Structure 1
Amino acid sequence: MLKIPPHQVAGHKAGNGKLGPLVDESGRFYKPLQGDERGSNELKFYTSFSSDTRIPEHISKFFPTFYGTQLIEASDGSGLKPHLVLQDLSIGRVNPSIVDIKMGSRTWAPEASEEYIQKCLKKDRETSSLPLGFRLSGIQIYGNKESGYWKPERTSMQNLSAEKLKTILKKFVSSNTSPDMNLQPDCAFAATVYGGSTGILSQLLELKAWFEDQTMYHFYSCSILMSFEKELALEGKNPGGQIKLIDFAHVIEGKGVIDHNFLGGLCSLIKFISEILTAPNEHITEVVPSVNGVN
């Protein structure tokens, strides 16, 4: 039985006659294959990446498992449509807190049309992408059974100053999840979610080490999905903090050149997370991603 993903925080959503992804009970995520070059490009990436023996196992774990393509009934009622069949990243999670972070100060690939470049450039300039190297595309933070999720409008999360963006990343790992942006987050779960040998910061650093060397792909307009279970943290258990890379419609061949655009955004994000861990009550130091991807 296919249904609309209950924990999708960004991207095109199914429902009300709109085309969007679906999930089943077995842990598979069905993403509509876009009919233009974006669809063929994403399929090409997954096919190549999933069979590329040069990708270390400790890196492939950061990407959704790819199960091929399948014709299924589209969510918009338009009949059978090809879908990418991927790992459902929220399977097994009961009340996950999730944030979708679009990486890079530039979200358009060099081969894109001039019209598309101008569209992306406008948004990159109007959001935190250009100055900070990444922007928030969507977020949901679980409070408790009574309050449910805090899930602000996606557009309100994108044009944030460094200070407000840091507040959101602090709120993500806090017990006080009030929508009041003037309420100082307590960062109660920062150490267990962001910190530790298996926490999100450690994973980001592991990914960074690979991006400092890999020249196979350039990941334009790709996102990092960060998630964990607050209820497990409250019980003193491992909250399962994890990162996954998603959305590969604009990936291109690296041609022997390091992906400085993604790496610069990754270094910027790591700096934000590191400062939250080491000084949760201090203000952020303004971050300007280097053109060489190193801060």
Structure 2
Amino acid sequence: MLKAPDHQVAGHKALGGKLGPLVDDSGRFYKPLQGDERGTKEVAFYTSFSSNIKVPDHISRFFPEFYGTQLVEASDGSGMQPHLVLQDLTFNRVNPSVMDIKIGSRTWAPEAPADYKQKCMKKDRESSSLPLGFRLSGLQIFESGETGFWKPDKKWVQSLPADEVRLLLKKFVSSNTSKAMDSKPDCAFASIVYGGSTGILSQLLELKAWFEDQTIYHFYSCSVLLMFEKELASNGKSPRSEIKLIDFAHVYEGRGVIDHNFLGGLCSLIKFISEILTSPEDFATDGLLEDIQIAVLVSLERVVAL
């Protein structure tokens, strides 16, 4: 029995007769293929990536498992349609807090059509993508068994400026999650979720080390998914902190060149999380934001030079 995912925080949803991804009860995620070249490109990426011996195992674990494609009944009632069959990343998780972060100062590839570039550039300018090198695409934060999840409107989340992006990164790992943006998060779970040898920061640094060398792929409009289980953290247990990369409809050949656009955004996110771990009581200082913006500008200059 296929159904709409319970923990999807961004993208098109299979609700109200609309086309969107589905999940089954065995841990598989069915993503409808986009009808244009994006669907073909995403299948090509997964096929290439899953068989690429140049990608080390410790890096491939950050990507969803790929099970091929399959015709299934589409959620919009349009009949049997081709779907990517992937790993359901929240399968067997209990009340996961999830954050979708789109990486890169620009979310469009040089080869993209002009009208698509214009649409992406507008979103990049109106969000934190240009100043920070990443933007939040959506999130859910588990509050309690009584109140459930806080799942703010994704359009609001995507338009947040730099200071409020950092505030949400703090709220994500706090015990006193509040819908009010002027409330001060306590970052009670920052050390156990973001920190440690198996925490989110360590995983991001491992991914960064690969991106500093890899020239196989260039990732545009790709997201890093952050996940953990608050109830485990509250009980002093491992919160199952994990990152995964998702959305590969805009991946191009690297042609021997480092992906500075993705790497710059990844470094910016790492700097934000590192600063939360080292100074959880302080809000972002002008100096921190200035350092991040300089790093992003340097990355952009490298991209333009290419």
d(CA) in 1 for partners of 2:160, 2:73: 38
Partner of 1:53: 53
Partner of 2:169: 169
RMSD over aligned Cα atoms:
1.0
Shift of 1:196: 0.1
Partner of 1:137: 137
Partner of 1:291: 298
Q: Secondary structure at the match of 1:42?
A: helix
Aligned residues: 294
d(CA) in 1 for partners of 2:232, 2:99: 18
**1:230 lines up with 2:237 in the alignment:** no
* 8 A Cα contact 1:263 1:293, kept in partner: no
- Give CA deviations for 1:25-65 in whole Å, capped at 9, x if unaligned: 10000000111000000000000000000000000000000
Shift of 1:3: 0.7
**1:282 lines up with 2:289 in the alignment:** no
User: 5+ residue gaps in structure 1?
Assistant: none
Shift of 1:160: 2.0
Partner of 1:207: 207
Q: TM-score when scaled to structure 1?
A: 0.98
Partner of 2:304: none
- Structure with the higher helix share, 1 or 2: 2
**1:125 lines up with 2:142 in the alignment:** no
Q: Secondary structure at the match of 1:143?
A: strand
User: 5+ residue gaps in structure 2?
Assistant: 302-306
Shift of 1:293: 7.4
Partner of 2:260: 260
* 8 A Cα contact 1:262 1:293, kept in partner: no
Partner of 2:197: 197
- Give CA deviations for 1:58-85 in whole Å, capped at 9, x if unaligned: 0000000000000000000100000000
1:3-22 correspondence to structure 2 within 5 Å: 3-22=3-22
d(CA) in 1 for partners of 2:20, 2:166: 30
Q: Secondary structure at the match of 1:187?
A: coil
d(CA) in 2 for partners of 1:190, 1:246: 23
> What percent identity do the matched residue pairs reach?
71
Partner of 1:24: 24
* 8 A Cα contact 1:143 1:150, kept in partner: yes
Partner of 1:271: 271
Which amino acid in the other structure matches residue 237 of structure 1? K
Which amino acid in the other structure matches residue 72 of structure 1? V
d(CA) in 2 for partners of 1:69, 1:109: 25
Moved more, 1-10 or 155-164: 155-164
Which amino acid in the other structure matches residue 136 of structure 2? L
Shift of 1:291: 3.0
d(CA) in 2 for partners of 1:129, 1:196: 28
Which amino acid in the other structure matches residue 173 of structure 1? V
d(CA) in 2 for partners of 1:177, 1:132: 24
Shift of 1:178: 1.0
Moved more, 160-169 or 177-186: 160-169
Q: TM-score when scaled to structure 2?
A: 0.95
